[in-house]
Amino acid sequence: MKVQIQGWTPDLRYPIYPIEVRTGASGVWYNTSALAQDYAEFDFPGLRCEIGDAPREVLRDPKYQCADGVCFTRNGGNVIGTDPRVKAKRAKC
């Protein structure tokens, strides 16, 4: 596993991962932030294999939001997992 847990959400319910989301004209890229030990870049199926989907209850919780294929905390923008609603081809994990 290339992406290690960085910490926990303030309510200690979900792990936080050091992932940055970059959007551009060609699409969305995911890469590890400066807080990670090793740099890695992922496509969506690869990121889903690395960190897994966020639990479905975050979709109803106002403290969290999902956009660009990942779910994150509203106050700090910390990634907690991939968006479970996004359909993607299954990558071999």
Residue position matching structure tokens 């290339």: 2
Q: Are 63 and 55 in contact (CB under 8 A)?
A: no
Q: What is the pLDDT of residue 1?
A: 63
Residues 44-84: tens digit of each pLDDT? 888 999 999 999 999 999 999 999 999 999 988 899 999 99
C-alpha dihedral over 9, 39, 68, 70, to 10 degrees? Answer: -30
CB 45 within 8 A of CB 91: yes
Task: Give the pLDDT mean for 8-13.
Answer: 92
Dihedral over alpha carbons 88, 5, 9, 29 (to 10 degrees): -40
Percent of the chain clearing pLDDT 70 (strictly above): 95
Report the pLDDT value the prediction gives residue 27, as an integer from 0 to 100: 82
What pLDDT shows up at residue 29? 86
pTM: 0.84
